[in-house]
């Protein structure tokens, strides 16, 4: 059975959470195990959004809609092509997640979640990223946890990324019939 045979069509894993929670790290672990295509949600921002964040200003909904629509389009293209994918996207609010999920039954959220102190420390230590530590509080203010009716699960940011990946793969196998590619 291939990776896409067991569940309801393809699967789109949206690795979500505040900046610095470990989305890109966990997504890389998933991609390594699954061998699926990957997109970094940060790369879908128009340059104005990146400059705004770099300057220490949080994005508002109006800034985020075009970004989310581009991501939703990417998800839709791959879903229609029958390709399972992994994508990172903070997807902080329910309304953002609803937009990504609209018409896309493949979407499944992996929320990397941890306390603000831990995340702030990680953002302070991280180099080469535009997001300043001063924006962490605004990320937590915007964050709405996954609802019971939203597909996906929460994994702790505090454990090792390997454990998060294992937990996610176990749930994906149960809920969506996702199987790992057989090793040669």
Ligand X SMILES: Nc1ncnc2c1ncn2[C@@H]1O[C@H](COP(=O)(O)OP(=O)(O)O)[C@@H](O)[C@H]1O
**Can you give the binding site for ligand X, defined by CB under 6 A?**
17, 19-25, 88, 122, 126, 160-161
Q: Identify which of residues 10 and 88 has a Cβ nearer to Mg ion in the complex.
A: 88
Q: What is the residue whose two structure tokens read 């057989």?
A: 182
Q: 144: number of CA atoms within 13 Å, CB side?
A: 10
Q: Identify which of residues 24 and 139 has a Cβ nearer to Mg ion in the complex.
A: 24
Structure-block tokens of residue 181: 């590619």
* CA 92 to chain CA mean position, Å: 10
Q: Identify which of residues 3 and 24 has a Cβ nearer to ligand X in the complex.
A: 24
Q: Where are the alpha helices (DSSP H) in the chain?
A: 23-34, 47-54, 61-80, 94-101, 116-125, 136-142, 161-176
Q: Which does 41 bind (CB under 5 to 8 A by kind): ligand X, Mg ion, none?
A: none
Kindly state the smallest distance separating residue 20's Cβ from Mg ion, in Å: 8
Kindly state the smallest distance separating residue 177's Cβ from Mg ion, in Å: 28
Kindly state the smallest distance separating residue 135's Cβ from ligand X, in Å: 11
Q: Which does 22 bind (CB under 5 to 8 A by kind): ligand X, Mg ion, none?
A: ligand X
Q: Identify which of residues 11 and 24 has a Cβ nearer to Mg ion in the complex.
A: 24
Residues that bind Mg ion (CB under 5 A): 23-24
Which residues fall within 8 angstroms of residue 87, CB to CB, at 6 or more apart? 12, 13, 14, 15, 27, 38, 39, 40, 41, 71, 74, 75
């Amino acid at each position: 059975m291939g990776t896409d045979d067991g569940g309801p069509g393809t699967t789109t894993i949206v690795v979500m959470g505040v900046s610095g929670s470990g989305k890109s790290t966990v997504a890389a672990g998933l991609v390594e195990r699954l061998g699926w295509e990957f997109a970094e949600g940060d790369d879908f921002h128009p340059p104005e959004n990146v400059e705004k964040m770099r300057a220490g200003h949080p994005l508002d909904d109006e800034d985020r809609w075009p970004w989310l629509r581009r991501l939703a389009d990417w998800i839709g293209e791959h879903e229609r092509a029958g390709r399972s994918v992994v994508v990172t996207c903070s997807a902080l609010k329910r309304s953002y997640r609803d937009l990504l999920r609209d018409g896309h039954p493949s979407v499944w959220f992996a929320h990397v979640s941890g306390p603000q102190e831990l995340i702030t420390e990680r953002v302070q230590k991280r180099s080469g990223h535009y997001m300043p530590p001063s924006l962490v509080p605004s990320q937590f203010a915007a964050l709405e946890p996954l609802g019971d009716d939203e597909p996906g699960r929460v994994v702790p940011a505090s454990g090792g990324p390997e454990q998060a990946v294992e937990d996610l793969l176990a749930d994906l196998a149960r809920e969506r019939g996702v199987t790992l590619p057989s090793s040669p």
